[in-house]
Each structure stands twice: as C-alpha cells, then as structure tokens.
Amino acid sequence: MRGDGERAKNMHRALKAAGCRISSQRRAIIDHLVSATSHPSARLIFQEVRKNHPDLSLATVYNTLGVLTRLGQIRVMQFDAADNRYEPNIAPHINLICTSCGTIADLRRSVTVGAEKIMAEAGFEVLDSRLEYYGLCAKCRADNR
C-alpha cells in the first residue's frame, strides 16, 4: 500500500532525527509493523521478522517499538490479560476488538470530541485518546452459528 510506504518513511525519518541508526533489523520491524493489519504484539513481530533476520533479538524489537512510541510514530495498546499490541495508525479511528479471537481491526471513523472542546468545557488537557468497541468479529460470529 502506498500509505504503508509513507508511514515507514516517516518512521525512518523520525528515528534518524532522534539519532538512531536504521539497521536492516529496524527497517524490517518497521516494514512488518506498517503492513500488519492485526495490531501485532512485540512477540509476534519478533517471530515474523526473525524468519528473514535470524540474528534479531527480542530486545531489539522492544527497543525499536519503545523509541517509535516515544517519538509519537506508533501507539501502544495496553491490555490487562494480554500482551501489549502496537498500533501504527495514529490517526483518529475506532478499534474493534474481538473478545473471542483477539483480532483488532480499525474502523476509520472518528466519534471523539475534539481536544480543544474538552479543554474549553472541562479545563482538561487531552494528551491522547483511544476508542474501542468489544464484541465478535464477522468470522467468530459465523463460527458460533
């Protein structure tokens, strides 16, 4: 996808601007992250990227994800009972989370209240937000029938 390539380039530029070296491993981590639609965990990224980069360490994956998160290039989706997942789509959208299989899909629609409006009405400074709906994906609904 053209959008994936642009997101990857933005991540590369952000890493370079922060003084980070863009190794082939980091490039592969970024490429996998932006092409995945599943909001992968660090362990899943590690397993997939390691197929072509056997010298990759889990620490490199976590370090790369940590830097990208601090630079605002990705978001971490934290869950109590599951591994954190990583979101390369930082534009406002809704996450649809299947409670049966755990897949996470993006619904490209914003239903949030603007940060400026919240500040004006409540005096609350919004730093970040995440909107999630929990339920059953189409596949799990069909499997349950």
pTM beyond 0.95, yes or no? no
What's the token pair of residue 71? Answer: 């630079």
- The amino acid present at 9, given as its one-letter code, is K
Three-state SS string over 7-31 comes to HHHHHHHHHHHCCCCCCHHHHHHHH
Residue pLDDT, tens place only, 23-67? 999 999 999 999 988 899 999 999 999 999 999 999 999 999 999
Domains (ranges, CATH) in the chain?
2-87 (1.10.10.10), 94-144 (3.30.1490.190)
Q: Which residues pair with 102 in a beta bridge?
A: none
Separation between Cα atoms, residue 45 and residue 104, nearest integer Å: 15
